[in-house]
Amino acid sequence: MALMIASTTGMAPASAATTAAAPALIMGEVDGSARAQDDFFWHVNGAWIKAAQIPADRSSINPFVELDEGVRTRLHSLIEDIAKGKHKTGSEEQKISDLYLSFMDTKQIESLGLKPLNAEFAQIDALTDKQQIPALMAWFNLRGINAPYAIQVHQDNKDSSKYVLDIGQSGLGLPDRDYYLKADDAKLNDARRKYQLHIEKMLRMAGQAHAADSAKAIVAFETALATIQWDKVALRDPIKAYNNIALNKLDELTPGYDWTSYLSALGVSGKIDRVIIGQPTYLSGLNQLLQTTPLATLKQVLKWNLLSSAASQLPQQFDAEHFAFYDQVLRGVPKQQVRWKRGVNLVDSGLGESLGKEYAARYFPAQSKTKMEQLVANLLVTYKNSIDTLDWMSPETKKEAQTKLALFKSKIGYPNQWRDYSSLQISKGNPVANLRNIRLHANQTELAKLGKPVDRETWEMTPQTVNAYYNPEMNEIVFPAAILQAPFFDAKADDATNYGAIGVVIGHEISHGFDDQGAQYDGLGNLRDWWTADDHAKFTVKTAALIKQYNSYSPVAGYFVNGALTLGENIADNSGLAIAYKAYQLSLGGRPAPVINGLSGDQRFFLGFARSWQNKMRDEESIVRTKTDPHSPPQFRINGTLRNMTPFYRTYDVKSGDKMYLPPAERVSIW
């Protein structure tokens, strides 16, 4: 039910123009307990937050969650319809049906017990020499099981026309290295203690001898990994993470480690002669750690990761204990999702584009794509104009920026070609095997790209994903169908609210091409310095000011936003909002915006923006995100950006002394 927006404190008078019915995107009651000039997030969303209930099986409630719940319901109906029929063996329908029904058959899962893991455990028990570990690491990597290092196939950052294999740090069971290393943080220490107890309980249920000693050794090993890992800020540097090394030189980095066996077991021998090593110091340190750690301890670590990775497909006691730690302890979620939702998520992760074909056909109208194409085109034109008028950037760098912008590609709704699942093996009766096969198929599909031309039609998200992204290697912005609905987008809604909601999302994704990471890539997706030294220095001054601003924001007492970790997203948030506002003004064509229910166009723009980021989150989840999430908390994605937005000051008459106020000299404007 939609309610008319109540009178808001301190709004600047709306300019005279025509009035019309209020669009759904801006309906709702504002909260009079907070002035717009002091806390715009709470002013717009406070009433909603007070009334909102976080679902018992979620860590937060917000438009993303609400839309995702709707998507899950639609997918459930689609999957249930498929599961009722009989299908040809090997068809996508057969795979969807068997994957879902096998997960839902809890009686069969209970009867199997740990039998699906017996062969995997035996493989580890059979290890007699550390020289056998590299081949086993490949087996783990292929099946997406947590291991001390992980693999990824992506475009070469120095030659985006070809694919490369990237090897990077991994292996932790807790969300971040800080959980192992921050001795002065009581909450993180408690999580680490409970993690060790969780491991002990899981091993004991699995019948492992000396479970307590094993759990202690496993946590000690992961702590050693954490000690040599790069932190998440360092991981954001694409230059430092680009270490193109010939295979015959790997022994200099990791003496004695059998990369030949590893690459052979991975199935890429003869296909590549170089690899990208993301964190060389970590890999070198890991090699030393593997040499000094007893084989018995390494076998315990490997067995634990096998067990943990399969927990959701195992009997109820393992599934419940896995949930109790990873969701209840770490994220504060009191109740596990009903099984059908988890079954839908499993099918979505394994056969997402198969579901996506039907989802897009049923739920993504043609007019939505047309409207989005117009909005994206308007935002790109506005970005071009904005670059031309930057007073801090030289003509040389502007020319490079414009060249990159002109090469941007947008993808909207769904892909032009769909993923091939013909080699994916799914059968009834063994959910663990199905899970392993899903990840094996996904990784083998990626590895098969090595040595082949880059496919620029692939998507990293399915149509039913409520999100959007920018890919610097492709220089593309992608908007799946599921995010193109209210409150982010409504083809029938007022332009002001659409620009304030989906327009900001579009501007945000474009701006990632020019954030602190994206600005290091050119229009072809290659790491190349296209900045003059003076312009880069000015850019650094601006980003340093943004880091300082966000470092002062605290979502939970004692925990602050990491301004360096969130820098890229904060640049995209601030620039995306500014560009969307300019695009909205451009769309008016010099005409006054209509007044709707007493609200000016600018007011509706900012209200649409703030409504799209309404959020209520459990403290435990907020703490995890301060350590792991490159995005700022939603309240600062609103207030933090608006404090830098001069048109907001005019619209809401923000003055010195108001909490939203920043002196003009402290406001950061980049793009």
Where exactly does CATH 3.40.390.10 map onto the chain?
36-72+366-418+458-666
Length in residues, the chain? 671
DSSP 327: I
pLDDT of residue 491: 83
Residue 15: pLDDT band with limits 50, 70, 90:
very low
Q: What is the mean pLDDT of residues 347-354?
A: 98
> Residue 33: what pLDDT?
87
Residue 29: pLDDT band (50, 70, 90) is low
Q: What is d(CA 668, CA 263) in angstroms, rounded to the nearest whole number?
A: 48
Measured CA to CA in angstroms, residue 101 lies from 182, 350, 351, 430 at distances of: 43, 14, 14, 10
Position 170 scores a pLDDT of 99
**What is the percent of the chain with per-residue pLDDT over 90, rounded to a whole number?**
94
Q: Which of 539, 547, 552 is nearest to 567 (CA)?
A: 547
Cα-Cα end-to-end distance for the chain: 38
Which CATH topology does 114-313 take? Neutral endopeptidase; domain 2 (1.10.1380)
CA dist 604 and 159 (Å) reads: 44
- The pLDDT value given to residue 9: 28
Cβ-Cβ contacts under 8 Å for 174 (sequence gap 6 or more): 180, 191, 192, 195, 222, 330
pLDDT confidence bin for 493, thresholds 50/70/90: confident
Q: Answer whether residue 339 shows pLDDT above 80.
A: yes
Percent of the chain with pLDDT over 70: 96
Choose the most confident range, by mean pLDDT, from 9-23, 489-503, 651-665.
Answer: 651-665
Q: What average pLDDT does range 632-647 have in this prediction?
A: 98
* CA proximity to 516, closest of 549, 550, 541, 539: 539
Range(s) of the chain covered by CATH 1.10.1380.10: 114-313
pLDDT in tens, 434-484: 999 999 999 999 999 999 999 999 999 999 999 999 999 999 999 999 999
Q: Which residues, including other chains, have CB under 8 Å from residue 460's CB and lie 6 or more apart?
A: 469, 471, 478
CA 530 to chain centre: 28
Angle at 218 between CA 216 and CA 219, to 5 degrees: 65
On the question of pLDDT at 628 being above 70, the answer is yes
Q: pTM score, two decimals?
A: 0.93
Give, in order, the Cα–Cα distances in Å from 625 to each of 156, 338, 629, 634. 30, 25, 5, 11
Q: What is the CATH number of domain 36-72+366-418+458-666?
A: 3.40.390.10
Q: What is the mean pLDDT of the chain?
A: 95
Q: Which of 18-27, 287-296, 375-384, 409-418 has the lowest mean pLDDT?
A: 18-27
Q: Is the peptide bond before 395 cis (omega within 30 degrees of 0)?
A: no
Buried b (16+ CB within 10 A) or exposed e, 567-590: bbbbbbbbbbbbbbbbbbbebeee
Distances 100 to 319, 490, 620 between C-alpha atoms, Å: 17, 33, 31
Average pLDDT over residues 282-311: 98
Residue 28 pLDDT level (bands cut at 50, 70, 90): low
Please identify which residue in the block is written with the tokens 């496919």.
455
The rounded distance, in Å, linking the Cα atoms of 593 and 15 is: 8
CA of residue 426 relative to chain centroid, distance: 27
CA distance 124 to 139: 11
Q: Taking each helix axis from N to C terminus, what angle separates 601-612 and 567-587, rounded to the nearest 10 degrees?
A: 150
pLDDT of residue 14: 31
pLDDT, tens digit, for every residue of 305-332?
Answer: 999 999 999 999 999 999 999 999 999 9
